[in-house]
Amino acid sequence: MTQTIEPGNPEAPTQPEDTSAGTRSTAAAPGSIPALKRRVPKYSDLAPLMQFKKPEFSRASRLRRASTIWDLRDMAKRRTPQAPFDYTDGAAEAEITLRRAREAFLDIEFRPGILRNVSKIDLTTDILGKSSRLPVGIAPTGFTRMMQSEGEYAGSQAAAAAGIPYTLSTMGTASIEDVAAAAPDGRNWFQLYLWTDRDRSLELIERAAKAGNDTLMVTVDTAVAGARLRDVRNGMTIPPALTIKTVLDASYRPAWWFNFLTHEPLTFASLSRYTGTVADLINSMFDPTLTFDDLDWLRETWKGKLVVKGIQTVEDARRVVDHGADGVVLSNHGGRQLDRAPIPFHLLPGVKAALLADNSDAAIILDTGIMSGADIIAALALGADFTMIGRAYLYGLMAGGRAGVDRAIEILEKDMVRTMALLGVSRISELTPDHVRLLSK
């Protein structure tokens, strides 16, 4: 009898094939396997599966359920009236810049190394002459107590607890002195908008120095206000106005309105009171005639570290460093000024190469679009020395006050630790451009 062997089959039979009728497989039927026999379940088997958790409705339990910054954003949207939420969440015109900034972090490929010892991950880094426990700080944001009543106090205290810098905005809703008193052990920075009234600007600089701020961050991308159309459509004013629309909106968010109405009215780091639209405030106070000569004046006036925020070209990065800046913040103002502006993440490699070519040790800081710790690690790998978050921490603030900001920082830290470990690096200094590849479209 001729034996038939299937080609390439290593398990082909070695014995003559039995062609007799009625031959059956010798595999055991499911019912003959003890573990697969059906039976009536015992209570002892069911008991471990019936340990139902008691429902938790506290703010702490709600925040613990947030696994991402996007989760915090969803919570923030449910708890905050539309006008202040949109002020935070929105951007200029068609919001193309913000969308592209976030997409930039999605359009990458990480390149991990294997068989590295990543049992301990160290996220500490040096920024502007001091150590930071994490490679991220809190960016300046205006009208912060409008988003949630704890505002700048929650942000500065959470930053101090996390061992990272906090930046108070000129348009912040707490004074320089009050923020310093609320977080006396924190590393406090002050962000400056140069006004047409130079004496008022000088007064702010002197107050910041006296309060112990070691870094001055001057923002240079607000010659005029951007067209933030969500604010226009919402009739956004400072302070929020009670209209039929806002009253109806408040009925769904009573906790926000209760906090807003029962705390001290909004005041500012730079002026006592203001009533009007955000755009009108910017256009009436900020100086559209600024030049590099004004940067020279700032460098002579401020004795601490000087950082310029709003850099959007390689050439401007080099120029502000030539005029005395200790660092540059690659930023398009979170997409809130010029729509279709350059994306800071895309700008990073060019700025890094240019400053290296100039033998400059100026710090490169990046903001705009960061929504995860993986975004931060990608930015560091491509050349950033440090990053800053605005919306990401404000979502936490709106979701749960100080505890929400703590949770936002905790989420980012866990993201960073996990991403670093999976990349095969244990320290920030080990990150290189080889760890990230920009995907072409």
Residues classed as catalytic: 333
Question: Is the CB of residue 395 less than 8 Å from the CB of residue 73?
Answer: yes
SS percent in the chain: helix, strand, coil, step 5: 45, 10, 40
Structure tokens at 103: 């997409």
Number of neighbours of residue 303 by Cβ within 10 angstroms: 11
Give one DSSP letter per residue of 153-205, joined into a string: HHHHHHHHHHT-EEEE-TT-SS-HHHHHHHSTTSEEEEEEPPBS-HHHHHHHH
- Strands 130-132 and 125-127, how do they pair? antiparallel
Q: Which of 259, 230, 275 is nearest to 154 (CA)?
A: 259
Question: Is the CB of residue 181 less than 8 Å from the CB of residue 161?
Answer: no
Bridge partners, 218 (sequence order): 192, 308
Distances (CA, A) of 439 to 20, 237, 302, 422, 436: 61, 41, 42, 20, 9
The whole-angstrom separation of Cα 162 and Cα 166 is 10
Structure tokens at 77: 């949207």
- Secondary structure class of 369 (helix, strand, coil): coil
Q: Which of 64, 55, 173, 171 is nearest to 396 (CA)?
A: 64
